[in-house]
């Protein structure tokens, strides 16, 4: 805890959920200072808290070794709110029962509220919420009432008002639970009787102070990507330390989008390092997505070391700066109990060594994408830079799927299963599963509901897509063995450029948070690849909602893509996060 922060009124206990710190951030947004502690913090150390929130997590409460909490905290007199796994843990420890659900519930659900006071004061009888679970409470503990349910989960909220103990199966902290902040506000002020004591404004002075404290007399060298995060971190260090102590370089990995290098050079005025051949050579013959990320991360480290040595940055007292933000560390298993969702290039072994040797500074690791943009605006960075769609550090490499061997598509009652593997996050755990092409999607809002129901029901998939157009029927297509080749990279780069141009012309790019374009090795002999469009809406990247494209943009985009060499079909990803991650790898 910082010396200039007030004593925490709320403690969030981390049971391994990917949204753990997001809960604390929401509490702070409501004006109450909150801290995050491990789930095994003793009740004695939590004395004096007005409220305790137990986060979600990837485990099952009835399995040996799963995270738990000190049972005595329920007798402290503080308000307690269990979220998802936290509700299940509360029920389990207080003599209720928890069981594995008949099917998972991931994404949107409708909460049917039966008790509309206390925790649900001001909410309607039916409220949209965001779910990510399979286990559920089968019987509430003695003294608890059932407060709400969904069609899939009969006990979606429980409460014992006399003891100020509550649990919810849904996630009120994510943006896709529209009234979630009202639920948290009710808990903070009506149940816990918190007072407002936190104002996040003035963060620049605190960040600059922390940068100067961390660097001491050392200088900082940045490898900027041109994205929002690294650009803001770079400018933040420039402001804190001055241009004589901060240097920047941009590594062109050969995996970038069209005109990306020129944009970064013109916007930030940093040195350009051409390392395309090195990266592409290292990725030849690699198809596994985790291996790709590791290779890219390690190549970054090698390039960094070469640049640092050639610039004599290691002769003096220099450290490495990065634009790592909070979701990067969480999805890489950054909390004590968190499951690995995917390895980010700035958390591979080489970077970890720099961290361990105290040769790295990451000033934005406590912030989310929307907060980073706010910091950038406080720094005076232009909207053209700050409003860019997020772009992954490994660049197009993780949007270009590879396959080790050829395999046919498979007919299922719901559609056709494409045997490519994509990363998902279901119940706070990583999944690595196939993709389903929905039969007769209809191209209306109902297709998203169908996709959600389908992905919840089928355990061997974590994504559902709809076909927007194709040169061949799906039954004639197959996944072909393919790697990361210059030819396929060029194919994806051109497709991405087409999508970005048409989105910008239609004003669609301002309506979505991100629009990944993915190349998959699925097609015919003469057209071996297909494109997947992934427009999504999000605020912080922790959750995301798939977005429908309106006509005629979809038709025009599909037509132009199908005219490109080597492309067989165009698909539209209908899957929210969870159960699918934003990126496919």
Number of Cβ atoms within 10 Å of the Cβ of 491:
20
Number of Cβ atoms within 10 Å of the Cβ of 108:
16
Facing residues of 478 across strands?
Answer: 408, 523
31, burial (CB in 10 Å: exposed 0-12, middle 13-18, buried 19+) = middle
Judge contact between 312 and 300, C-beta under 8 A: no
Judge contact between 83 and 112, C-beta under 8 A: no
| CA quadruple 233, 235, 240, 243: dihedral, nearest 10 | 130
Phi, psi (degrees; rounded to nearest 5) at 574: -100, 5
What is the Cα–Cα distance from 89 to 222, expressed in whole angstroms? Answer: 43
Side-chain-side CA neighbours of 9 within 13 Å: the count stands at: 19
Judge contact between 181 and 172, C-beta under 8 A: yes
What is the Cα–Cα distance from 19 to 339, expressed in whole angstroms? Answer: 12
Query: Would you list the DSSP string of 432-494?
Result: EEEEEEESS--SSTHHHHHHHHHHHH-TTEEEEEEEEEESS-GGG-EE--B---HHHHHHHHH
Q: Which of 20, 21, 84, 176 is catalytic?
A: 84
Spatial CA neighbour of 360 closest among 529, 260, 458, 220: 220
Phi, psi (degrees; rounded to nearest 5) at 68: -135, 180
Active site residue 84: yes
Q: Which of 105, 173, 331, 414 is catalytic?
A: 173
Judge contact between 487 and 407, C-beta under 8 A: no
Hey, is 294 helix, strand or coil?
helix
- In what helix (H) or strand (E) does residue 136 lie, and over which residues does it extend? strand 126-139
Facing residues of 135 across strands?
Answer: 100
Hey, is 117 helix, strand or coil?
coil
Q: Which of 171, 176, 345, 576 is catalytic?
A: 171
Spatial CA neighbour of 199 closest among 80, 44, 28: 28
Facing residues of 174 across strands?
Answer: none
| 70 Cα distance to chain centroid | 30
What is the Cα–Cα distance from 12 to 464, expressed in whole angstroms? Answer: 34
Which residues are known to be catalytic? 84, 171, 173
């Amino acid at each position: 805890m910082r010396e200039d922060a007030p004593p925490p009124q709320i403690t969030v206990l981390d049971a391994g959920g990917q949204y753990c710190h997001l809960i604390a951030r929401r509490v702070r947004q409501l004006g109450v200072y909150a801290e995050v502690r491990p789930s095994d913090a003793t009740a004695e150390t939590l004395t004096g808290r007005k409220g305790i929130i137990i986060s979600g997590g990837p485990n099952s409460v009835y399995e040996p070794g799963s995270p738990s909490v000190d049972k005595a905290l329920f007798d402290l007199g503080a308000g307690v709110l269990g979220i998802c796994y936290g509700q299940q843990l509360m029920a389990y420890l207080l003599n209720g029962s928890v069981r594995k659900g008949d099917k998972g519930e991931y994404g949107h659900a409708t909460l049917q509220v039966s008790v509309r006071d206390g925790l649900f004061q001001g909410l309607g009888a039916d409220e949209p919420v965001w779910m990510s679970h399979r286990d559920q409470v089968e019987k509430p503990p003695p003294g608890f009432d059932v407060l709400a349910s969904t069609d899939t989960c009969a006990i979606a909220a429980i409460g014992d008002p006399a003891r100020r103990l509550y649990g919810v199966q849904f996630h009120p902290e994510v943006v896709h639970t529209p009234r979630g902040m009202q639920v948290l506000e009710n808990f903070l002020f009506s149940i816990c009787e918190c007072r407002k004591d936190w104002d996040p404004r003035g963060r620049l002075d605190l960040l600059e102070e922390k940068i100067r404290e961390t660097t001491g007399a050392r200088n900082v060298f940045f490898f900027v990507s041109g994205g929002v995060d690294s650009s803001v971190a770079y400018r933040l260090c420039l402001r804190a330390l001055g241009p004589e102590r901060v240097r920047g370089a941009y590594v062109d990995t050969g995996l970038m989008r069209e005109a990306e290098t020129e944009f970064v050079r013109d916007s930030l005025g940093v040195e350009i390092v051409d390392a395309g051949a090195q990266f592409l050579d290292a990725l030849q013959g690699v198809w596994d997505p985790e291996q790709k990320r590791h290779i890219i991360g390690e190549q970054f480290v090698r390039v960094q070391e070469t640049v640092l040595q050639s610039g004599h940055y290691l002769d003096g007292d220099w450290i490495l700066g990065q634009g790592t933000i909070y979701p990067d560390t969480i999805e890489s298993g950054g909390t004590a109990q968190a499951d690995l969702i995917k390895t980010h290039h700035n958390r591979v072994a080489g970077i970890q060594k720099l961290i361990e040797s105290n040769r790295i500074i990451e000033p934005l690791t406590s912030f989310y994408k929307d907060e980073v943009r706010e910091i950038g605006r406080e720094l005076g960075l232009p909207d053209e830079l700050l409003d860019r769609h997020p772009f992954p550090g490994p660049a197009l490499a993780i949007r270009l799927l590879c396959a080790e061997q050829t395999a046919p598509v498979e007919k299922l009652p719901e559609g056709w299963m494409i045997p490519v593997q994509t990363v998902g996050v279901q119940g706070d755990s990583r999944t690595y599963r196939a993709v389903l092409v929905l039969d007769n999607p209809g191209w209306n809002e109902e297709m998203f509901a169908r996709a959600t129901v389908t992905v919840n029901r089928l355990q061997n998939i974590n994504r559902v897509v709809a076909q927007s157009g194709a040169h061949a029927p799906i039954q004639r297509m197959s996944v072909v063995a393919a790697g990361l080749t210059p030819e396929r990279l060029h194919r994806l780069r051109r497709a991405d450029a087409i999508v970005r141009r048409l989105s910008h012309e239609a004003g669609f790019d301002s309506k979505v948070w991100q629009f990944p374009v993915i190349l998959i090795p699925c097609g015919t002999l003469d057209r071996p690849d297909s494109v997947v469009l992934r427009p999504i809406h999000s605020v912080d990247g922790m959750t995301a909602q798939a977005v429908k494209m309106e006509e005629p943009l979809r038709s025009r985009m599909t037509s132009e893509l199908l005219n490109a060499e080597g492309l067989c079909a165009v698909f539209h990803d209908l899957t929210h996060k969870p159960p699918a991650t934003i990126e496919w790898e």
